[in-house]
């Protein structure tokens, strides 16, 4: 967090096969696709960086979801507090 600009890094890993899809939602909004840092979503482990820009004061909820080639989903959430 720099001022009100927020950057989030996510590491996702599947124990068997490659990840096929990744997306995030902020404060319950629509899911948005995320591209991995290496530009190709093709491995069992990927790192993602999300630039959320400036957020208003208060608590925000970031949800992320990844899907592997067998259509298994993994989910995670975190709260971001901006003062």
What DSSP string describes 24-75?
EEETT---EE--BTTS---SSEEEEEEEEEE--SEEEEEEEEEEETT--EEE
pLDDT, tens digit (0-9, with 9 covering 90-100), for 13-49: 998 889 999 999 999 999 999 999 999 999 999 999 9
pLDDT of residue 68: 95
pLDDT band at 55 (very low <50, low <70, confident <90, very high): very high
């Amino acid at each position: 967090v720099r001022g009100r600009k927020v950057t989030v890094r996510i590491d996702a890993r599947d124990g068997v096969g490659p990840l096929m899809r990744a997306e995030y939602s902020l404060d319950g909004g629509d899911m948005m696709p995320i591209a991995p840092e290496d530009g190709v979503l093709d491995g069992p482990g990927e790192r993602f960086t999300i630039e959320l820009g400036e957020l208003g004061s208060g608590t925000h909820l970031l949800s992320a979801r990844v899907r592997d080639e067998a259509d298994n989903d993994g989910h995670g959430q975190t709260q971001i507090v901006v003062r």
